[in-house]
Structure 1
Amino acid sequence: MFTFLLIVSLTTVRAELVCRLWRRSELPMFSKDGDITIGGIFAFHDNPIDVNHPFKSLPEETKCKILNFRELQNAQTMIFAIEEINNRTDILPGVTLGFKIYDSCRDVRLAIKSAMALVSGPDGRLINDDSCIKPLTVPAIIGQSSSSPLIGIATSLGPFNLPVISHGASCACLSNKKLFPTFFRTIPSDYYQSRVLVQLVKHFGWTWVGAIRSDNDYGNYGMSTFEEIAQQEGVCIEYSEAIYKSYPRERYLKVVDIIKKSTSKVIIAFVSFNDLEILLREMFLQNVTGFQWIGTDSWISAKNPSILEYYKIMSGAIGTTVSNAFIPGLKNFLLNVRPSDTPANTGMTEYWEFLFSCSTTKQNQTTRLPPCTGSENLSGLDNQYTDLSNIGKANNVYKATYAVAYSLHNLLACNTKDLNKTCSKNFKIEPLQLLQYLKTVNFTTGNGENFYFDENGDPAARVKTYDLINWQLSKDGMVEFVTFGAYYAFLSEGQQFVINYDSIVWTGADNKVPKSVCSDSCHPGTRKAAQKGRPICCYDCIPCAEGEISNTTDSPNCLMCYEEYKSNKQKDQCILKDIEFLSFEEKMGILMVTLSVLGASLTMSVALIFYMNRDTPIVKANNSELSFLLLFSLTLCFLCSLTFIDWTKIKWIVWKKNIIIYKLKRKGTFYIIIFL
């Protein structure tokens, strides 16, 4: 009986284990059918609206706010690239690419939800009722510019071996192939951006800086790399503070207070503009100005509507951004996009209604906007969508789309050499197969750039370049992002920066390079002495001791001169010691010579008398030999004092017969005549 009940129970449980979706997936923002469909995830909105979670029923649908026009441009660039590929005969001949593009709202949960929608499809139909296994609807996913949502996507899709190619997720952590084996990107890792920022800071002589970062993967990993490299290069960080859009106002006020009390005049900001804008608002209210801001590509070129308001604080800001490019035909494509009321392709509708303050649907009681006339035109607008002055990330989307297309081209063994251009019609592509071809893809874009991935899924080293951007105010009072130079990673050290210094506008009224050091440089003749309890950039300058020198700026120690040398007055050079003799011109010298000659003369006179009377008994009784020796020694003793006289000032003139004439070098002319 028990066995029978167990079998019935297992049968019932098995019948209930039918794989069903709990709810229908949301429709994509943009979609188009094709033989092969490529997935896309972009942050069309910047912030999700918080919803209630009653824990007794399914939560409400998450909604988003704040339209992101730059991401719309990126998504349309992906569509443009796919349309361009479909119209070409040298890539995937006879194969049509489609797309499904979802909104992540720059949120981790929605990004993962969009990824699952791309994997599962929009409906709940399965192969059979016994298994959740079904083929993936897309072979690859392009997009998602933020690192944290991208980490969620790459982690979730890793078990499916589904390639994910990002155009903007630059966190250095994503280069770890053990954690993210299916991740690729067309933007350089923040490891390189951090190195560029350190070298930029060092290039302008700033060794004492403050640091602000977003409290997420992008900010924390990027600032960690910056601090590590800065320490190696001798750049000190006075403070390092984290901010995030959901933090309370008290946290931002604390950061503003730290900035006001700081002595550094340069601020490194590894943040997203959403986080930075809240901080700028507080600084604007407190009129905190006079700081040189250094930014990353996440905000330095962001044309935000409120950017003019904060220019007073951010004037002269400089930073790095992804190198600009030109994509033929893209501008016309972007300006000719129109909204659609077709389900799963309504992504342009909300933007259109916002831009032209009209409704694309029929007038009803829920809206007060007038209906759109159909004559609206995007060409007359000036915003991030229509601005093509800096489309570095759009170019990255363009390259990512072509990377997938060329990988599919190689995977399907397409033949484009013969007149009969064909590809394999087996469109049941396994993501793992495409993954292997992506690792080896190598192609040249329409603007002549050769592109391929390295072993970490990052762009190759020789395409890791950055433009240097400067915030300036135009004649009509608008903020401009002026490119004043570039950084080329493939060039030798010391030549990687190409900068036009005359085109830079600095913060401050004098428009000079701001000075930001903890201690002024120690000049030659002094050495650095670290201040106890402070970073190595803070030090005192101590003069070198006697006999020591330092001949370089900021010398850590003084060098001892050789024994025959001494330090000069400035203590920056060793000079030969002066050999001093008693001068014949001095009174002491004259007295010594006189006494020495007199003593020697007397001694020699006594010796002469002894010699003349050498046969007398008294001389013999005093041991004449010993007496002569003593008198000779005494003569030498008197004469040895003459060796302390500087005889170099006496010039020999002539030696005639028994007369020697010397001329003394002094103010007057003084002759010494010796008769022999």
Structure 2
Amino acid sequence: MSWFSWLFIVWSRSSQSLLLVWLVGRELGIRNGLLCDQMLTCSRWGTPSSQGLFQDGDVIIGGLFPLHYQPPAIDHDFTQLPLLQKLFKQNSLIYILSFYLPPLSLEYVPLQYIYAMVFALEEINHSTMLLPGIKLGYHIFDSCGRPPWALQSALSLVGGDNTSCGQSVPMIIGGASSITSQILSTVLGPLSIPFISYLSTCPCLSDRLQYPNFFRTIPSDIYQARAVAQLVIRFNWTWVGAVVANNNYGYMAVKEEIQEAGVCLAFVETLQRENIISDARRAALTIQASTARVILIFTWYTDVRELFLQLAKLNVTDRQFLASEAWSTSGDLVQNSITSKVAKGVLGVATRSSAIPGFESYLRHLHPIHHPDDEFLREFWEVEFGCSHRTSHKSNILTSNPPVMSDHKSLKKVQNLFTDASQLRVTYNVYLAVYAAAHALHGLLCPIKDSSENNISTCSSPKQIKATELLQHLQEVNFTTPQNETFYFQGADIPAKYDLVNWQKTPDGTLKIALIGHVDGFALHLNESAIQWITGSSRVPISVCSEICPPGTRKVSRKGEPLCCFDCIPCAAGEISNKTGSLDCERCPLELWSNAKRTACIPRQLDFLAFNETLGITLTTAAVTGVTVTTVVFVVFLHYRHTPVVRANNSELSFLLLVSIKLCFLCSLVFIGRPSVWSCQFQQAAFGISFVLCVSCLKVKTIVVLAAFRSARPGAEALIRWFGPGQQRGSVCLLTCIQIIICTIWLSLIPPVPRQDLGFQGSKVTLECAMVSVVGFCLILGYIGLLACTSLILAFFARKLPDNFNEAKLITFSMLIFCAVWVAFVPAYLSSPGKYTVAVEVFAILASSYGLLFCIFAPKCFIILLRPERNTKKYMMAR
């Protein structure tokens, strides 16, 4: 049902229906009488009312082209008042709600396709080498871009309807969409009618089992999809959006090639011709909200035009578009002012371009006066020049009075999409399809017969052409085009060749299409320096969900998000990643460590307890202070050596004890500094011997205290005589010699050696004195511990002996501190890493030395220096 019939029914209930219909026809510009014919041509399912473009011949070739395009109807979302159309003004205004369907618009580019077919057929008819003696005719219908109307026209062509003699066509050239070609090939398949498409790119059509009669002169989408995927990967775009037609076109690129290449899709929006306004608005809102800066669009150029209109309304002008061949070279879009605002810098794949000699001159010499039966040319002329044919339109309802067509009008100086032959892409595909059809007919009708002079082709009668034989010859077509290109079919396809184009802004603000590379099969050849991006500069846009992880980090996927959305986590200490986008970090060898940026393994620095670091300085200061204090105490005792406090409990042992404590402080210094063979051996020996000497003195002093008090008992006088000064010195020497023997045997057999500790995971390698055998070290510590425990027990028993100054109490406290320090030393030593093991041992030496010094000698110095009245024999002996 046409829009006119629908409108008549809607308003038939009103008494003003006839008046309104007449007013609509007058006011809506039907002055050229075309609208009714257009709607009747493309709105009925049944019998076509237009004869199309016809030229008789010995063989008629059919053609289907989407000459008319129906703009999207007004999308009534009931958010605003309906659009009112002003119809007539006399005494008052009369309005009508605009619920009519929009008129069909004539598309100039498909019109060029039609005359490319006519031009090619005329070339062939004038050729003496191709189909000599046979005239090719044509019957061309307007499919209006709708599969039902294309199918209706195809059936009319195959059935021989509406031709002068009822002659059916043996072959059809057409199919402006893959879905149309699928339908036509399926319907015509049982009849074996060959069908050559110039614009159907779906890879599904390469299936010879399902579509055995289908051929095309445009490459399959699989090559275009691979080229687009290569472009996306080449420019490191991992986060792209996609807008595709709601059919098979584009799904190959989006679902297979793009995603299989590791690129994530931020969104996939579909556009459907019937709901193009609402779909385009939804897609535009999605593009505006998305973080993707690169948008891939696979759909027909009329849909792209509506999408750009919606984007312009939202002022979205910072997106980089990737174009499919269906719109990458659309002059209608390039010349549109809205497009220049939204889509400058478009990068696209385009059907290869080739020149057709003489075609532009042919177009510019077309005139309806010379082709009175050409309805397509007449309609174009009326739209372009606003004039009409001399005869009135057939419509008995709508009439108009446009200017009469003039003979002086010409296309010689007209510049539009119809006359533009600078880049013939799809037009050239139509041209190739005609020649492929002609060569197939030539192979069928004109076999070559040998002659003595040359090969002469004689053509048989074309009246009885078997479709199966013609289909077989079409599959075997192999010829050289007038442009000296070899043409042949690989199944249903031709070898893939594309151009890579870029929309660049000219100085006057318009857009031009620049060639920046080409695609040959799956090989991509691109001149990156020639590209002008959306920013107007040569800097490649960035479109990623997450910035690529720099060296020194690794990728960690975000839960619930695509793989392209991730976080960058720094590599752990001792691990590196020396390239961008690393999934894992590599661990460095033991002798190496990661640098600060975690990008390379570098040799680990030697680390030891040095004198010039904070810890070394602190411990050295503590040791030197201890030596100084011990020396001061020694001088004080030496000066007051005749006083009772000094002489009590054997002053000789007191001086020896001070010397041993001083040695303990000094031996701690041996542990600080770079370990060497001699320092490793000397430090343990000095430590063991110094502390044994110290503890031996304390033990002997404790025994002396006990012996002194025991001697006061009857019969015990001999005890103090037996353990006199000589025996005390001998005991100290004996106990110390045992430690000396242990150290000598240990250091002679398995001494400590300097070694790098690689077990500690860090940027530094600890240089330490390794205990090759811990038995010797344990014996040294064990012997010191045995003496200390014995001294503690003896001092503990003597702590309550009656005396104002009982040194046993001081020894008890000192031994408690000594034992506590070294008991705590063992776990601390075993758990400390690296150089801190040495620091723990030095600290234990200093702590125990200070404990002995202060616990034993601080009270005595207090009496000597601050309480001299107590430094008397009477006071010392008082109970």
TM-score (norm 2): 0.60
State the 1:343 CA deviation.
Answer: 7.6
Question: Which residue pairs with 2:649 in the alignment?
Answer: none
Change (3 A) 1:599 1:288: closer
State the 1:25 CA deviation.
Answer: 4.9
CA offset digits 1:150-184 (Å, max 9, x no partner): 22222221111100001111122222223211100
In structure 1, list runs of 5 or more residues that go unmatched. 1-21, 51-61, 127-134, 604-621, 648-676
Change (3 A) 1:637 1:319: same
Q: In the alignment, is residue 474 of structure 1 matched against residue 474 of structure 2?
A: no
State the 1:348 CA deviation.
Answer: 0.9
CA offset digits 1:118-156 (Å, max 9, x no partner): 111235999xxxxxxxx9711111122222222222222
CA offset digits 1:479-538 (Å, max 9, x no partner): 3222222222254xxxx2222x34322213656321110111111111000001110100
Q: In the alignment, is residue 90 of structure 1 matched against residue 129 of structure 2?
A: yes
Question: Which residue pairs with 1:256 in the alignment?
Answer: 284
| Secondary structure of 1:326 counterpart | coil
Q: Is the 8 A contact 2:244 2:251 kept in 1?
A: yes
Change (3 A) 1:326 1:567: same
Instruction: For 2:193 and 2:680, locate their aligned partners in 1 and report how far apart those are by CA, in whole Å.
Output: 108
Q: Is the 8 A contact 1:93 1:416 kept in 2?
A: no
In structure 2, list runs of 5 or more residues that go unmatched. 1-44, 74-100, 617-668, 689-733, 757-765, 769-879
Change (3 A) 1:595 1:554: closer
CA offset digits 1:372-396 (Å, max 9, x no partner): 2212211211111111222111111
Question: Which residue pairs with 1:290 in the alignment?
Answer: 318
Instruction: For 1:63 and 1:118, locate their aligned partners in 2 and report how far apart those are by CA, in whole Å.
Output: 29
Instruction: For 2:755 and 2:65, locate their aligned partners in 1 and report how far apart those are by CA, in whole Å.
Output: 95
Question: Matches of residues 34-433 of structure 1 in structure 2 within 5 Å?
Answer: 34-47=57-70, 65-123=104-162, 137-218=168-249, 222-247=250-275, 249-304=277-332, 307-339=336-368, 345-362=374-391, 366-415=399-448, 418=454, 420-433=456-469
**Among candidates 476, 484, 488, match of residue 520 of structure 2:** 488
Q: In the alignment, is residue 434 of structure 1 matched against residue 462 of structure 2?
A: no
| Secondary structure of 1:309 counterpart | helix
CA offset digits 1:295-322 (Å, max 9, x no partner): 1121121122772223211121121110
CA offset digits 1:351-405 (Å, max 9, x no partner): 0111111112246893322112212211211111111222111111111111111
Instruction: For 1:370 and 1:562, locate their aligned partners in 2 and report how far apart those are by CA, in whole Å.
Output: 91
CA offset digits 1:239-282 (Å, max 9, x no partner): 11112232275544333222221111111111112222222222
Aligned-pair identity (%): 35
Question: Which residue type is aligned with residue 394 of structure 1?
Answer: T
Instruction: For 1:238 and 1:345, locate their aligned partners in 2 and report how far apart those are by CA, in whole Å.
Output: 49
Identify the structure with the greater helix proportion. Answer: 2
State the 1:330 CA deviation.
Answer: 1.3
Instruction: For 2:552 and 2:739, locate their aligned partners in 1 and report how far apart those are by CA, in whole Å.
Output: 60
Question: Which residue type is aligned with residue 147 of structure 1?
Answer: S
Question: Matches of residues 536-615 of structure 1 in structure 2 within 5 Å?
Answer: 536-578=563-605, 588=670, 593=678, 596=681
Q: Is the 8 A contact 1:363 1:370 kept in 2?
A: no
Question: Which residue pairs with 2:819 in the alignment?
Answer: none
Change (3 A) 1:451 1:565: same
Question: Which residue type is aligned with residue 113 of structure 1?
Answer: Q
CA offset digits 1:190-216 (Å, max 9, x no partner): 121111111111212211111111223
| Secondary structure of 2:448 counterpart | coil
Q: Is the 8 A contact 2:349 2:501 kept in 1?
A: yes
CA offset digits 1:420-442 (Å, max 9, x no partner): 54212253111111111111111
| Secondary structure of 1:316 counterpart | coil
Instruction: For 2:404 and 2:742, locate their aligned partners in 1 and report how far apart those are by CA, in whole Å.
Output: 134
TM-score (norm 1): 0.77
Instruction: For 1:203 and 1:367, locate their aligned partners in 2 and report how far apart those are by CA, in whole Å.
Output: 58
Question: Which residue pairs with 1:664 in the alignment?
Answer: none
Q: Is the 8 A contact 2:295 2:320 kept in 1?
A: yes
Q: What is the aligned-residue RMSD (CA, Å)?
A: 3.5
Instruction: For 1:588 and 1:23, locate their aligned partners in 2 and report how far apart those are by CA, in whole Å.
Output: 110
Question: Which residue pairs with 1:16 in the alignment?
Answer: none
| Secondary structure of 2:475 counterpart | helix
> How many residue pairs are counted as aligned between the two chains?
575
Instruction: For 1:82 and 1:444, locate their aligned partners in 2 and report how far apart those are by CA, in whole Å.
Output: 16
Question: Which residue pairs with 1:662 in the alignment?
Answer: none
Instruction: For 1:345 and 1:599, locate their aligned partners in 2 and report how far apart those are by CA, in whole Å.
Output: 115
Q: Is the 8 A contact 1:111 1:150 kept in 2?
A: no
Question: Which residue type is aligned with residue 554 of structure 1?
Answer: G
Instruction: For 1:343 and 1:235, locate their aligned partners in 2 and report how far apart those are by CA, in whole Å.
Output: 56
Identify the structure with the greater strand proportion. Answer: 1
Q: Is the 8 A contact 2:242 2:295 kept in 1?
A: yes
**Among candidates 465, 476, 482, match of residue 446 of structure 1:** 482
Q: Whose relative contact order is higher, 1 or 2, with alpha carbons under 8 Å and at least 6 apart?
A: 1
Question: Which residue pairs with 1:523 in the alignment?
Answer: 550
**Among candidates 32, 52, 64, match of residue 29 of structure 1:** 52
